[in-house]
Amino acid sequence: MRHFLVALTILLSLSGIAQSPLQLTIFGGIANYQGDLQPKKMTLQQSNLSIGAGLRYEITRNIALRGELRYGQLEANDKLNGPRYEHRNLNFHTKLYEASGLVEYNFNDLFDNSFTPYVFAGLAVFHYSPYTFDTMGVHHWLRPLSTEGQGLAQFPDREVYNLNQFAIPFGIGVRIEANEYVNVGFEVGARKLFTDYLDDVSTTYVDEQILLNAKGPIASGLAYRGDELKNGAPYPIAGTVRGGPHKDWYYFAGITIGFRLFDLNRSRFERQVSNKYKTDCPKEL
C-alpha cells in the first residue's frame, strides 16, 4: 500500500504542470477473481473494495489515453463453491497492485455530447503474493511452500511462479459530464492473465512425502486441506487433479470521477468545450 501511495503522489505532481486536455481520474469499486477457487465469472461473491487513480488525456474528440494505478484485494474459498470444490478445502488471499496504460474509445463526440458509452483496452503489470491462514489463524505465504512442487528438483517442469506479471486489461463503461470540469462514469474491466497461479492452484498434487521432506509439514498440510473437514479424505495420491489448466482472471467494477486539471482558456479544445457549455443571452428584438 505504501508503494501505491508514493506512485500516486508522483502521478499527481506530474499532473500539476500539464498544459493539455488532461484529467485526474479517481476510481472506487470492487475487485473480484475467477480461477480454480472461484469458477464464477464477474460475480459479487467474495469481492473486495478497490481504489485507484490516474490521468486521462484526450487526444481527439473520441479517443483518450489513460494511465492508472489500482489497488485491491482478491480472495476465494472452496467452502463457498459447493460440493464439487469444497472437498479440497483450499482458500487464498492476496493484495493486488496494478499499473496500466489504456486506450479509450468514446462512441459519442466528447465535445458535442454530455453522455457517451466507451470501450478500453491496453497493457497492465501487477504484483500479487497469495497467502492463507492455518487452522490456528497463522498467516502463511504460499509461494515459498511449493504446494505443487514448484522449484523442486523432482519436478523440473514446475517452475516457481513470478509475483510480478503482465495482463491485458479491457472493458466497457459509460460517462456523463456534469460540467466542463467534472465527469462521472461507471465501468467494468477484465484482466486476461498469463499465469494460473494467482490463487496458488494450477495442476496436480505431488507426492506428499516428497513435499514433506522438501518443504516440511506446513507445506504438505496446506497443499491439501480436505483432511481438516469432518469425514474428510486423506491426502490424494500423486497426480490427482488439484486445479485446472486455464489461466486465472481478475476484474474491477466501479465508479470513476474525472477532474480537468488545466485552464480551459488555454486548451487547444477551447472553442469546442466553451461552445458545448455556452448559454447565450436572448437577442434583442
- Total tally of structural domains belonging to the chain: 1
- Whether the full predicted model's pTM is greater than 0.75, yes or no, is yes
Task: Report residue 45 CA to chain centroid gap.
Answer: 15
H/E segment holding residue 113: none
The CATH number for 246's domain is 2.40.160.20
User: Is position 234 within any domain?
Assistant: no
C-alpha distance from residue 11 to each of 25, 97, 206, 234 (Å): 11, 15, 45, 52
Residue 199's nearest CA partner among 44, 31, 74 is 74
Q: Per the domain annotation, does 38 fall within a domain?
A: yes
Residue 268 in any domain: the answer is yes
Q: Are strands 63-77 and 115-127 parallel, antiparallel or unpaired?
A: unpaired
43 found inside a domain: yes
Domain that residue 180 falls in: 2-15+24-128+163-203+242-277
Is residue 136, in this structure, part of any structural domain at all? no
Evaluate whether residue 135 is within a structural domain.
no
pLDDT tens for each residue of the chain, 285 residues long: 665 555 545 554 444 433 348 999 999 999 999 999 998 887 888 999 999 999 999 999 899 999 999 999 999 999 988 887 888 999 999 999 999 999 999 999 877 888 999 999 999 999 999 999 999 999 999 999 999 999 999 999 999 999 999 999 999 999 998 888 899 999 999 999 999 999 999 999 999 999 999 999 999 999 999 999 988 899 999 999 999 889 999 999 999 999 988 654 444 444 455 455 544 555 554
pLDDT at 59: 92
CA atoms within 13 A on the CB side of 105: 6
CA atoms of 172 and 119, how far apart (whole Å): 4
